[in-house]
Chains A and B, each alone.
Chain A
């Protein structure tokens, strides 16, 4: 497939759309988080700036930029400055291979006397539909550790150091369960491409020859273990409560970003919420059918694309709310318990699930 001007234009359009969503996820999720926690704890929450306090986060963002940019004495100047950018980098790019809608053929158009979309090229709503698919996700997502470790080490503060070290140990432990839980999905799809994974889930399971259940991987009899392992590991990967040992404000002040202020702190904050968004999108794609609308055949036109993209957004939003809900409901674990669960429960469970799924496929049940 040659790469021509149309392809480049479409890629840039897609990147712009995704970046817009990812950059807006932070202010919106901060608002949801604060209002949600207020709802759960029976207090008003931010309600002064704009309707329902909606503009509060945007005011905060402006304030972050205008604050003083401090590099504390004794900190490694270059690494200290670089760390927030390194943290933001994987958070922004991991989403690249996740499909967010049904593909469709673009109609031929004439704009300003030029003919566009000759031969009706396929519009795939995914930034890069590469055959390595999920490997790209894990390759980029694992870079997130570097931002945290560099920040923790370069700050010249013991709270930062311990926050960074703890977070890295936690993230690599749960990354194992995450990668192994994804293997079961790949077994069923037979491909690393996330678009193939979603297409596999648009089919149906038929129960007793009458009841049609969408073939989402959660509903698969062999795969719900992987779903649980993957979602819990997603919480640990994004350093969210009940696994937020990177911060653990009761013990470590603020963890790895204790010494950070102004926009540098905001970048870590953005990275956390973007990682949440990416993880939700990943859980939706791997287990909850991606953009698939159950019991509905999306037409291969732009209407089908819009509908499926909206439905994808709804699913991701629900999961994002679950992130907030869990944070304000479940208390933090003890650190030794966290490592124990990761290595002694989730790792064997993920491997066991691979064996189960493989046996199901070999027996011809899946």
Chain B
């Protein structure tokens, strides 16, 4: 069983090596002529007047939290989906419906709190 994951491991290794090879090829073959203006951060050709690492809207943080909540729910649905066909019954269907309804309450709450609106 575990052996079947071995090819994925090989592929992961190959992918990492490939990335390293591309980057080092570029380092070896590319030119190395630096000057301060070439290395300055891009700002449409003028010197940078404010800072680069700015504050980010808190909405992005909110979205990340919501994602974790709903992704866990997706993780709960996966095992249910796999056995559903073999253990089929309306009881199993009702259980899932209850789960989704509970989730729906939270979803409506978040919607009403305007967490999905970007204003």
Contacts and interface: CB of A to CB of B under 8 A. Distances in A.
B109 interface: no
A96 B25 contact: no
Given A14-B7, A358-B93, A69 B27 contact: yes
Contacts of A340: 116-118
B46 interface: no
A214 interface: no
B3 A93 contact: no
A96 B11 contact: yes
A339 to B, nearest CB: 6
A183 B77 contact: yes
B93 A156 contact: no
Interface string B27-50: 101111110101111111000000
Contacts of A127: 7-8, 11
Nearest to A15: B11
B107 to A, nearest CB: 8
B31 A68 contact: yes
A289 interface: no
A136 B25 CA distance: 31
A228 interface: no
Contacts of B8: 93, 96-97, 127-128, 130, 136
Contact of A3 (B6, B11, B67, B100): B6
Given A263-B23, A358-B96, A173 B67 contact: yes
Interface string B63-107: 110110011001001100111111011101100110010010001
Contacts of B112: none
Given A88-B19, A89-B15, A157 B41 contact: yes
Given A73-B41, A88-B19, A156-B41, A15 B7 contact: yes
Contact of A169 (B60, B92, B93): B60
A89 B63 contact: no
A159 interface: yes
Which of B1, B52, B53, B103 has most chain A Cβ within 10 Å?
B52
B52 to A, nearest CB: 5
Interface residues of A, number: 86
Given A190-B82, A359-B93, A84 B6 contact: no
A362 B26 contact: no
B4 A129 contact: yes
A313 interface: no
A69 B3 contact: no
Given A85-B23, A361-B85, A92 B11 contact: yes
Contacts of B54: 158, 161-162
B116 A339 contact: yes
A176 B60 contact: no
Interface in A135-163: 135-136, 155-159, 161-162
A246 interface: no
Contacts of B1: 131
A135 B39 contact: no
Which of A93, A253, A340 has most chain B Cβ within 10 Å?
A93
A192 to B, nearest CB: 6
A130 B78 CA distance: 16
B116 A73 contact: no
A183 B74 contact: yes
Given A68-B32, A190-B86, 7 more contacts: A3-B6, A14-B7, A66-B29, A89-B16, A92-B14, A136-B8, A361-B85
Interface of B: 1, 3-8, 10-12, 14-16, 18-20, 22-23, 25-27, 29-34, 36, 38-44, 52-54, 56, 59-60, 63-64, 66-67, 70-71, 74, 77-78, 81-86, 88-90, 92-93, 96-97, 100, 103, 107, 111, 116-119
